[in-house]
């Protein structure tokens, strides 16, 4: 088994994500096209029910596309099953495997490719890097929100994905720890260095975690740019309200 | 909400009276069975050759039937749970087919099994012609009859567990490189293991108590198809003490099942 490339060397090797996605959820049609470059995380921001999570699920292959495509580097992945796409995903409230220990959660991807003992050994450096070694034998129910987030991220990155998707990674955390965890998550996302898309409804998360922002409202892209660009010329009342609320 | 004692908290007395009558109907016969039992001779009665034969046959067949129900029932439960997204008609037909043995008189099940697997049945005649296998009135027939009546208990217990699970864990597994089979094997199955265990226990107790379909389809050959319930029924005509001893034995197994399942008494229902 080859070990993942050291973080510093990665961005240059990692491929770009091109997504042009049309997907239906209930009565709503969600359509968005964007690129995410390695080392330059993109935040998708928008009100509840705008279709942000559906967009991520479609890129990961968890819901079918109505039209469009998903390309990673020169690999067209929209015809592939989720397990062939090499897209890592951190789910909202993390969705750790409740029957597996922290170690076996992080070892899951390696376990799918090999034996239990090899998989556990492969998980050790990830546990160490994410400060989880002392928690390795705990079950997910015995973790705090911040610890669960680390496990979810370690589990996704241990699969050595080319693209990382994070769905509301901060929403399950208590307010007191949120700022610390945000900085920690930003560090890990930088270390990953591949194309990263973060769904959030918080401009503070977007500012800390992403270079650029795409605003999704009712299934449509209403604005894109850096947060500064959005502040200078908010395109919709929602963008204006959101930025005003976060400035307080 | 605080209810004043004597008003909302209390049921009308006729309801309580009828409920007590119902409860008596359930409990008194079993109490009578325990009281009437020939306790002093019990060890001797249970050590009889005919009893041991029936005991061995019953536990053996019920165990094999439970294993078969696990093998067939878990995938069937997975299909049924996934059928939630199907069109109405096939979904209902599938559910009805699985439910039928629960509402069907077991004798009807036995007669139906004979029509399929009997010497002149479409499958029975083929088996006999091609492989020289005769199914009815064999120990194998006992197992088939037990599987027929017990399978729904397992399927519904597992289906209940599958439905309450978070399907996103399966999606998470897929993004981590798990194939559909690996998702089932490493995520779905372990998560429904408690439901599978509860279903297996229910299934075993139903198989152990099977009478109607068994006697119709498998008959009552001592040591071959004469299971505990059949032996108990037949002994009632000749030696009531032996019948009562066998009945006590089956009651003891039922109580053990209740204790095993004390947190979840019925498929899909948590007590």
A194-to-A41, A162, A163, A203 alpha-carbon distances in Å: 8, 6, 6, 22
Q: Count CB neighbours of B41 within 10 A.
A: 12
What the block records as the tokens of B28 is 């008194």
What the block records as the tokens of B249 is 């034995």
What is the rounded CA–CA span in Å between residue A53 and residue B21? 56
Q: Count CB neighbours of B82 within 10 A.
A: 12
Q: Are strands A67-72 and A220-225 parallel, antiparallel or unpaired?
A: unpaired
CB contact under 8 A, B186 and A108: yes
Q: Per residue in B38-96, pLDDT tens?
A: 888 888 888 898 889 999 999 999 999 999 999 999 999 999 998 888 899 999 999 99
Nearest CA in chain A to B191: A99
When pLDDT is averaged across residues A121-141 and rounded to a whole number, the result is: 94
CB B198, CB B69: distance < 8 Å: no
Q: What is the mean pLDDT of chain A?
A: 90
Q: Per residue in B1-16, pLDDT tens?
A: 444 555 567 899 999 9
Chain A contacts to B (CB-CB under 8 A): 57, 60-62, 81-83, 85, 87-89, 91, 95-99, 108-109, 111-113, 155-156, 159
Give the pLDDT of residue B5: 52
Min Cα separation A186/chain B (Å)? 22
Residue B268 has pLDDT above 50, yes or no: no
**Which range scores top for mean pLDDT: A17-26, A171-180, B256-265?**
A17-26
ipTM: 0.89
When pLDDT is averaged across residues A26-52 and rounded to a whole number, the result is: 93
Q: Are strands A195-200 and A75-76 parallel, antiparallel or unpaired?
A: unpaired
CB A72, CB A15: distance < 8 Å: yes
B260-to-A36, B256, B267 alpha-carbon distances in Å: 55, 6, 14
Q: Per residue in A58-106, pLDDT tens?
A: 999 999 999 999 999 999 999 899 999 999 999 999 999 999 999 999 9
Give the pLDDT of residue A226: 93
Give the pLDDT of residue A1: 45
Q: Which fold has domain A14-23+39-73+162-224+239-248?
A: Rossmann fold (3.40.50)
The structural domains of chain A, with segments of one domain joined by +, span 14-23+39-73+162-224+239-248, 96-161
| Angle formed by the axes of helices A116-129 and A145-157, nearest 10° | 120
DSSP conformation letters of B55-95: HHHHHHHHHHHHHHHHHHHHHHHHHHHHGGGS-HHHHHHHH
Per-residue pLDDT band at A114 (split at 50, 70, 90): confident
Q: Which of A89, A95, A108 sits opposite B166 (nearest CB)?
A: A95
When pLDDT is averaged across residues B210-220 and rounded to a whole number, the result is: 95
Residue A117 has pLDDT above 60, yes or no: yes
Domains of chain B: 46-260 (1.10.3720.10)
CB contact under 8 A, A97 and B172: yes
């Amino acid at each position: 088994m080859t070990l993942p490339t050291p973080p510093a060397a990665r961005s240059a090797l990692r491929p770009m994500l091109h997504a042009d996605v049309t997907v239906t959820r209930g009565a709503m049609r969600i359509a968005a096209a964007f690129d995410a470059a390695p080392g330059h995380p993109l935040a998708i921001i928008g009100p509840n029910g705008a279709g942000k999570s559906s967009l991520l699920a479609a890129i990961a292959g968890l819901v079918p596309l109505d039209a469009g495509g998903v390309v990673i580097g020169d690999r067209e992945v929209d015809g592939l099953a989720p397990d062939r796409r090499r897209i890592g995903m951190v789910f909202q409230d993390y969705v750790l495997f409740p029957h597996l220990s922290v170690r076996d959660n992080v070892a899951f991807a390696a376990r799918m490719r090999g034996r239990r003992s090899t998989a556990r050994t492969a998980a050790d450096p990830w546990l160490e890097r994410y400060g989880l070694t002392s928690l390795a034998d705990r079950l997910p129910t015995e973790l705090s929100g911040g610890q669960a987030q680390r496990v979810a991220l370690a589990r996704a990155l241990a699969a050595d994905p080319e693209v990382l998707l994070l769905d509301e990674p901060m929403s399950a955390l208590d307010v007191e720890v949120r700022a610390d965890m945000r900085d920690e998550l930003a560090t890990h996302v930088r270390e990953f260095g591949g194309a990263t898309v973060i769904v959030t409804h918080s401009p503070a998360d977007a500012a800390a975690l992403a270079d650029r922002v795409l605003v999704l409202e009712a299934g449509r892209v209403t604005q894109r740019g850096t947060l500064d660009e959005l502040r200078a010329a908010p395109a919709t009342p929602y963008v204006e309200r959101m930025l005003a609320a976060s400035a307080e | 909400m605080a209810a004043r004692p004597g008003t909302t908290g209390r049921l009308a007395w006729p309801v309580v009276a009828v409920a007590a009558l119902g409860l008596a109907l359930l409990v008194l016969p079993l109490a009578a069975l325990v009281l009437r039992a020939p306790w002093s001779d019990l060890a001797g009665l249970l050590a009889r050759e005919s009893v041991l034969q029936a005991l061995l046959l019953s536990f053996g067949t019920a165990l094999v039937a439970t294993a078969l129900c696990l093998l067939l029932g878990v995938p069937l439960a997975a299909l049924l749970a996934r059928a939630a997204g199907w069109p109405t008609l096939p979904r209902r037909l599938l559910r009805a087919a699985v439910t039928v043995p629960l509402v069907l008189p077991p004798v009807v099940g036995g007669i139906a099994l004979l029509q399929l697997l009997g010497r002149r049945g479409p499958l029975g005649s083929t088996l006999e012609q091609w492989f020289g296998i005769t199914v009815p009135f064999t120990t194998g027939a006992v197992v088939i009859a037990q599987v027929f009546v017990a399978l729904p208990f397992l399927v519904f217990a597992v289906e209940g567990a599958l439905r309450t699970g978070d399907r996103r864990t399966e999606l998470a597994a897929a993004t981590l490189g798990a194939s559909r089979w690996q998702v089932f094997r490493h995520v779905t199955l372990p998560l429904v293991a408690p439901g599978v265990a509860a279903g297996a226990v229910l299934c075993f107790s139903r198989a152990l108590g099977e009478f109607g379909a068994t006697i119709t389809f498998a008959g009552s050959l001592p040591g071959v198809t004469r299971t505990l319930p059949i032996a108990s029924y037949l002994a009632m005509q000749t030696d009531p003490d032996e019948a009562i001893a066998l009945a006590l034995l089956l009651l003891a197994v039922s109580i053990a099942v209740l204790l095993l399942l004390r947190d979840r008494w019925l498929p899909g229902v948590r007590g």
